[in-house]
Amino acid sequence: MTGVTETVRPSESYYHLHLVSDSTGETLISVGRAAAAQYDVKPIEHIYPLVRSHKQLDKVVQAIDEFPGIVLYTLTDPELRNRLKTYCRDHGVPVLSVLAPVVQLFQAYLGGAPEPRVGGQHQLDGDYFRRIDAMNFTVMHDDGQHVDGLEAADVVLLGISRSSKTPTSIYLANRGIKTANIPLVPSLPVPPGLAELKRPLIVGLLASADRVVEIRRNRLLGLNAAQAADTYTDRQAVAEEIAFSRRLCARHGWPMIDVTRRSIEETAAAIIALLQERRRKLTENPNG
């Protein structure tokens, strides 16, 4: 190992970001990407999940030595944690435990020392099985399937083709929210009984015509079906589909979310906020 004797500076175009976890690494990836998004320089990610032995840490240290950069970690084992910190300190590599400041805050407020648990957020508890149940429901009710079971949904998403219904549904399901999605086609009737649903929150997803056309064209190219485009990628036809969606949601008072410039995560966050507000109102006025 050559080692690094001073703080590493990124090149003009990239830098290395090492994410070391004794669990799945999801927390690190989220935190690392959220921080990296604040800068124009793009990171090259090196992700090391399930690091629970010195042999596994050997490979991590070797990679850091070869590609020095920022090191973020969540390691429960004190020996592994101290070894990584010592190596980085001795070689001038910036290193941080992303959970340590948060745990210290909890400890100061709650009192007592925490009980370290590897992958504690991934326990096979009630929340875990609730997410699995939601995922199964969502897959079964994707793209207008099994509309007879919509009353059991927490959320029903409506939208024309390529309005991010399926990825948003999957994201919500991973949060434990049973989500069905239904494609809207002006020439076809919506599922019978949709307007009479009581339990689920019904939300329309909208996007600009230009955005929908762009996604549809890319979709057709990926399927080698460019010649089958016809009205599917015609801007005027798409605009009419969007207008149909708007009229339908407005007629029934269903909230609409424009996803043109929203990520899946942002769209899901907006839906969750609507769902929480709806549940709060139902709790306060169950007969309303």
CATH classification (class only), 14-110: alpha beta
Determine if residue 161 is labeled as part of a ligand binding site: yes
Helix axes 264-284 and 165-174, enclosed angle (nearest 10): 60
**Strand ranges in the chain using DSSP code E only, listed in sequence order:** 14-21, 42-48, 70-74, 95-97, 155-159, 179-183, 201-206, 256-258
Q: Which fold has domain 126-284?
A: Rossmann fold (3.40.50)
Tens of pLDDT, residues 174-225: 899 999 999 999 999 999 999 999 999 999 999 999 999 999 988 888 776 6
Determine if residue 263 is labeled as part of a ligand binding site: no
Determine if residue 160 is labeled as part of a ligand binding site: yes
Tens of pLDDT, residues 10-30: 556 899 999 999 988 888 998
For residue 285, what are its two tokens? 């006025």
Is the pLDDT score of 123 beyond 70?
no
Determine if residue 165 is labeled as part of a ligand binding site: yes
pTM: 0.70
Determine if residue 176 is labeled as part of a ligand binding site: no
Determine if residue 163 is labeled as part of a ligand binding site: yes
Give the single-character DSSP code of 44. E
Kindly indicate the confidence band of residue 282, based on its pLDDT and cuts at 50, 70 and 90.
Answer: confident
Radius of gyration (C-alpha) of the chain in whole angstroms? 24
Contact in structure between 134 and 176 (CB atoms under 8 Å) = yes
Contact in structure between 22 and 52 (CB atoms under 8 Å) = yes
Q: What is the dihedral of CA 269, 174, 202, 275, to 10 degrees?
A: -50
User: pLDDT at position 18, please?
Assistant: 97
Tens of pLDDT, residues 228-253: 557 899 999 999 999 999 999 999 99
- Point out the least confidently predicted range of 63-67, 124-128, 197-201: 124-128
Determine if residue 42 is labeled as part of a ligand binding site: no
CA 229 to each of CA 143, 145, 191, 226, 237: distance values in angstroms, whole numbers, following the listed order: 20, 24, 26, 6, 12
169: nearest Cα among 147, 136, 210:
136
Q: Do domains 14-110 and 126-284 have the same CATH topology?
A: yes
What is the amino acid identity at position 282? L
Where in the chain are the domains?
A: 14-110, 126-284
Determine if residue 159 is labeled as part of a ligand binding site: yes
Contact in structure between 54 and 37 (CB atoms under 8 Å) = no
Q: What is the dihedral of CA 230, 236, 240, 246, to 10 degrees?
A: 120
Q: What is the mean pLDDT of the chain?
A: 89
